[in-house]
Structure 1
């Protein structure tokens, strides 16, 4: 497999970046902004591009070179990735990246800095980055990732070359799940359809039965909203499930990090941590850090819930406009209930509900109380 094989449904972009990596290094743009909706694979695209840039064959071979494999695995000394589970990227983290960017590469042609979710930076943090993006060190390439160019400051996007990714088609996502993840064809197709082009969520649905079940319960709950009490109950259930899922995920990641720490340092599962390593080991599961990461993860779960809720009213609108043959339904398993809802509400109702979902998303982004946000949303969705 080549360095680009993990990229799904982005052939035009991979062809372009492949040509750039193989071209004259003196003409390569040094600051890039890779944009795509959640799940489109923008971070994977940045890593694949970095692998092609650092590889002796520029990513043109059928198999990745040793350098490319290290980049893709996150172990290349000249490629630094800033990814965060926190709500925002800190200014100190960016200062550290700038220091790294000034260093000469040790083994490869370029020092490459990848920043995932650059839209999570506050304005003052982005301003620290601005000068480096505008005038990068001669040997450094910056690859920034964001949902869209509008999600970053104009000063940043005006100083970068923007690459826009498409939403992968469900068929391509399903094929990926079958070939790379090894799931059943039926499960792969259903997960790809429900994920609406989001590769990460499709993989989650295909491999985590609990997550899929919670989505099914949410859709049924939305379709059965009749009274304010239904709305309050559903909001409570959703937020409790999001909190539990987030905490479980974060604790699992912390445990995996501690297990990896033990392995790297030659310690068994029950071996006592030496005093000189104890601080570093405990930092992997620091309570405050886990709480911040769980908050971020919970927001991701709730954002996914908003997409699922919106899909219901998207399907209602599709049926009301006789467009099922051309665009299909997302929630095929709930077709009967959605058909019934589409028959008893005016066309304007679906549009109003989608507006309410957008408003809830805005309120969550503004740090609104998740329980109150969803109570208000579900009350607004009662026919």
Structure 2
């Protein structure tokens, strides 16, 4: 299998990237290399595989066979050890100008292995305005062998001056059948479970994998989808909001705890904490206090982002639920993401109108916008659950 064969439901994007990799090889050989450029923007809905497509393209640029999938170059990209591939994953809520300037300096170096120097910038839309302006300068005047691969949900998430200088690769939501096939063939998931996970994840490949393989993930989804049925009064709405936010906090803490501990231990080791000896640099130890404070700030930002991401996943599950309710109300013959909760869908469809359903969807989307604008999560979610409240039958 070649590196592009892992892109699920992205045949058109894969074709574009294969051709560009061939053009890149021609350029290295002294040819025109039509179709190859120094800056790319990968866009597509969450879970469509933006980063995977960019990583596959990086492997194809390094590989002498344009992405065979089994050579040393392809393997090094897959495991993240290729010396000419710089991967940027913003851990916090944003990516600042200081980090961007350091990244640009590293990107300007010559390729170690003589082909390309590739920067894969995941979630490039998290770059601040100052960082984006610095990035624009680097893209406008790139070194001859440096290639920028930027990933963002949509072109509009990037500065117009940046996206106008990038060749765009648009990924689509993979069909349910394609995701289910991957789960069944590569993860040995039973066909029925694979179909359920693919449908529930709405084309989000990583989410489908978690739902198929992790029972706790399925339990969390069930807890979220039980919320609409429980919202019969103000007290129930407040309780549901508290439970959702608390669950997000606990999950975020679990995700970040181990990583935080290892980062702190490594930093203290670097600055000599716990060491002794006549030649020990005491100033170095004192300097570690400032570095530790900076690390704690980054970890706090990462925890906040993780918490918001967990809440946002729950909100998207609720949007899918009410969208299915709307489909039932109109008698639309479409695939329902929540077919496994057909009774709840039909019950709510009978007890409300399509206008009610649309109003509830709008309330969830407003909650997402408020969270993105740094509104207190508890307040934002409470306002949403109160808007979702249903009358007692």
Normalised by the size of structure 1, how large is the TM-score?
0.90
3-state SS of the aligned residue for 1:4?
Answer: helix
Measured in 2, the distance between the counterparts of 1:217 and 1:207 equals 18
CA distance in structure 1 between the aligned counterparts of 2:70 and 2:50, rounded to whole angstroms: 20
Alignment correspondent of 2:18:
18
Other-structure match for 1:210 = 216
2:85 corresponding residue in structure 1:
79
User: 1:369 aligned to 367, 376, 387, which one?
Assistant: 376
- 2:341 counterpart (334, 338, 345): 334
Q: Please say if residues 92 and 299 of structure 2, whose CA atoms lie closer than 8 Å, have aligned partners that are also in contact.
A: no
The Cα of 1:220 is off from its aligned counterpart by 1.1
Tell me, in whole angstroms, the C-alpha distance in 1 between the residues paired with 2:275 and 2:18.
47
Describe how 1:290-329 pairs up with structure 2 within 5 A.
290-323=299-332, 325=333, 327-329=334-336
CA distance in 1, matches of 2:213, 2:157: 31
Q: Give me the whole-angstrom Cα distance separating, in 2, the residues matched to 1:207 and 1:93.
A: 36
Q: 1:33 aligns with which of 32, 41, 51?
A: 41
**Aligned residues of 1:80 and 1:113 also touching (Cα < 8 A):** yes
In structure 2, distance between residues paired with 1:225 and 1:333 = 20
Query: 1:54: Cα distance to partner?
Result: 0.8
Shift in Å, 1:58 = 1.1
Asked if 1:231 corresponds to 2:237, the answer is yes
**Structure 1 gaps, min length 5:** 262-271
Residue 179 of structure 1 and its aligned partner are, at CA, apart by 2.7
Check if 1:122 corresponds to 2:128. yes
8 Å CA contact retained: 1:54, 1:108 = no
**Whole-angstrom distance in 2 between the partners of 1:191 and 1:93:** 38
Whether the aligned pair in 1 keeps the contact of 2:96 and 2:130 (CA below 8 Å) is: no
8 Å contact 1:195–1:201 — kept in the other structure? yes
Quick one: distance in 2 between partners of 1:358 and 1:193? 21
Taking only aligned residues, the RMSD between alpha carbons, in angstroms, comes to 2.5
Distance 1:328 1:223 in 2: 22
Aligned to 1:380: 387
For structure 2, the residue ranges without an aligned partner over 5 or more in a row are 28-32, 267-272
* Structure of higher CA gyration radius: 2
Q: CA deviation at 1:48?
A: 0.3
Q: CA deviation at 1:254?
A: 4.3
CA contact (8 A) 1:223 1:338 kept: no
TM-score by length of 2: 0.88
The answer (yes or no) to whether the contact 2:179–2:205 under 8 Å persists in 1 is yes
Is the CA contact (8 Å cut-off) linking 2:90 and 2:126 kept in structure 1? no
| Corresponding residue of 2:139 | 133
C-alpha separation in 2, matches of 1:209 and 1:373: 29
